[in-house]
Amino acid sequence: MDIRTALKDAMQRLRAAQVPSHTLAAELLLMHVTGRERVWLYAHHEEPLEPAQAENYFELVARRISGTPTQYLTGKQEFWGLEFEVFPGVLIPRPETEHVVEVALERFSVQRGLSFAPHTSLGGASGGALRIADVGTGSGCLAIALAKEFPEATVVATDISAAAIEIARRNANRHSVSNRIQFVQCSLLDSLLCSPLATRHSPLSFDLIVSNPPYVGREEADLLPREVREHEPHDALFGGAHGSELYAPLIAQAGKLLRSGGIFVCEIGAGVLDHVRPLLADASIWTAIGVTNDLAGILRVLAAQRV
């Protein structure tokens, strides 16, 4: 079987099974199996696939049809132009989460009177390296993207899941930022508020705290696409019955750990803004509150500055 026939056959099977983005899925799986780029596949579409490759390919296509996300089959997902390893114990990074990085960069640029320019080297309030925390790091995508953008920053990345911490560490190694990111398995920022980590992070003041916490309500589980509900980790999806459960402790901890002028940026779900915004209402703690839409026009990122 040649490449063109295999691709065509896979696309037909995926389309018939109503798999979203069936063309892309067929291509990504064939790229994974052959180790070739898309452009190579189309330039060499008459070349034969080895029988073992064809067998492997159609096995992956069948698993995709039965609901496994493409990224768990290929083991990777791109985020902020970087390739991240993913597996079923960790949430697949979503494109809309890139807005968290964008908002953080914009806020810093405005604060320092700089034009918005990625890869800018910025210092912290005291002129030392920026101190960043990422809460619920998952694959490490936010922590690593920010470490890349701020080459002198140090980052603490927490997650309640041991599997997430392990994969985030691997991704940090892959992107050569592991020397600047400390991974901590704990709930929210608990380990930073109590010793022994607190004593190692003195003074406890961060310039930036980001988070994409779980924000789907368990009551809404049935509304999620089946492949998300059945394949992605529930700890990464569900933030209590209504979805907003983690924001109150997260924002309270961020208020304690940010320096004056420090920035808080978090992702929000469509339904949680009304519950979350009042948590930033205390004007003696928070100022410059802003909400940013994603490309689909959905309110996606909430940001505020510590007074």
Binding site for ligand SAM (CB under 6 A): 91, 93, 97, 135-139, 141-142, 158-161, 164, 187-188, 212-214, 235-236, 246
**Of the two residues 158 and 205, which places its CB atom closer to ligand SAM in the complex?**
158
How many angstroms separate the CA atoms of 257 and 264, rounded? Answer: 10
Q: Helices then strands (H, E): number in the chain?
A: 14, 9
The least CB distance from residue 136 to ligand SAM, in Å, is 3
The least CB distance from residue 45 to ligand SAM, in Å, is 35
HSE, side-chain direction, 13 A CA sphere, residue 226:
8
The least CB distance from residue 169 to ligand SAM, in Å, is 13
**Of the two residues 214 and 255, which places its CB atom closer to ligand SAM in the complex?**
214
Q: What 3-state DSSP class applies to 53? A: helix
**Of the two residues 149 and 159, which places its CB atom closer to ligand SAM in the complex?**
159
The least CB distance from residue 160 to ligand SAM, in Å, is 4
Edge-to-edge strand ranges of the sheet holding 299-306: 181-185, 154-159, 131-135, 206-211, 258-267, 299-306, 286-293
The least CB distance from residue 91 to ligand SAM, in Å, is 4
**Of the two residues 5 and 292, which places its CB atom closer to ligand SAM in the complex?**
292
Q: What 3-state DSSP class applies to 288? A: strand
List, in sequence order, the alpha helices (H) in the chain: 3-16, 22-34, 38-43, 51-65, 70-74, 98-111, 141-149, 162-174, 190-193, 197-200, 226-231, 234-237, 247-257, 273-276
**Of the two residues 9 and 235, which places its CB atom closer to ligand SAM in the complex?**
235
How many angstroms separate the CA atoms of 246 and 160, rounded? Answer: 12
**Of the two residues 14 and 136, which places its CB atom closer to ligand SAM in the complex?**
136
**Of the two residues 160 and 273, which places its CB atom closer to ligand SAM in the complex?**
160
CB 165 within 8 A of CB 137: yes
CB 140 within 8 A of CB 180: no
The least CB distance from residue 175 to ligand SAM, in Å, is 15
CB-CB neighbours of 47 under 10 Å: 13
The least CB distance from residue 223 to ligand SAM, in Å, is 16
